[in-house]
Chain A
Amino acid sequence: MLPSRDELEAALCKRHSPEVHGAISKARIGIAGLGGLGSNIAAMLTRAGASHLTIADFDDVEITNINRQNYYLRHIGTAKTDATEEVLKMINPYMTVVKNKVRLDPYNIPGIFGGCDIVCEAFDVPAQKAMLINTLLEKCPGVKVASGSGMAGYGRSDDIRTERLFADLYIHGDGVDMEGVRGGLMSPRVNICAAHMANTVIALLLEGDP
């Protein structure tokens, strides 16, 4: 039988302390892109007690995603927003997941993410990353942004870094384009970068600074 909402809350308070759980559970967190970074960030933050996630991706799960994205074979052909919600609700059925199966652009981004405390940029194409970040920083004042930039290949774990580059922009990764990197995007290193980003979100919520 599923634990009740109160039982889950009590478990998270016991693990993290009521004060920490309170700050994480009340935050509004956005995740733009539900690929290798976004699907894993969503799951990590949900385990950490995040209870209000706004997610966006226009794509469906494909067989080539399974090598690193937080989906299972039965999700192939399902919208990533629906598959992510299903995975998250296995961790916390009582959380709120606002799904947006749309291609994000400068016109719809403020309406979708304007009310978030922090948004994770988890796209894969550089021009799209730039568009999202520029739109968020320009049109959504007060929203902090965690971005992934460079996480392909294997080894070199410690080359993945967290850096604050603008007042409200934190960049995570090794800064190396995936093109030509041996092995391409692989689960462990993508997860290291996703964990940096989820970790920044929690630090910003609790300390105002990673």
Chain B
Amino acid sequence: MKVNGKDLNPVSPMTVEDLVLSTGRVPDRVAVELNGKIVPRAEYPRILLKEDDSVEIVGFVGGG
């Protein structure tokens, strides 16, 4: 699969939540787009990623 433009081949099946955590990010501080569509936060633990998926993860930092 592609994650933020880079190839990633996980050894075991991963949910969106697993992927976000594996990048060191906090799931409540990100937005995730899967194949061009926003993923609702509640769906992160329920969606199993597939080989041909393309994922974009944006993390947010403090200050404004």
Contacts and interface: CB of A to CB of B under 8 A. Distances in A.
Interface in B22-52: 26, 28-31, 33, 36, 38, 40-41
A126 B29 contact: yes
Interface residues of B, number: 18
B29 to A, nearest CB: 4
B31 A177 contact: no
Given A35-B64, A177-B63, A130 B29 contact: yes
B10 interface: no
Interface string A116-138: 00000011111101100110011
Nearest to A148: B64
A130 B30 contact: yes
B25 to A, nearest CB: 10
A167 B36 contact: yes
A7 interface: no
B27 to A, nearest CB: 9
Given A36-B64, A152-B63, A178-B63, A169 B58 contact: yes
Contacts of B30: 130
Contacts of B40: 134, 138
B56 interface: yes
Interface in A144-170: 147-152, 165-167, 169
B58 to A, nearest CB: 5
Nearest to A153: B63
B60 A134 contact: no
A121 B34 CA distance: 21
A36 B59 CA distance: 20
Contact of A185 (B33, B38, B58, B63): B63
Contact of B60 (A36, A122, A149, A166): A149
Nearest to A178: B63
A151 B63 contact: yes
B2 to A, nearest CB: 14
Interface in A95-128: 122-127
B61 A149 contact: yes
Interface of A: 33, 35-38, 122-127, 129-130, 133-134, 137-138, 147-152, 165-167, 169, 171, 173, 175-179, 181, 185, 190
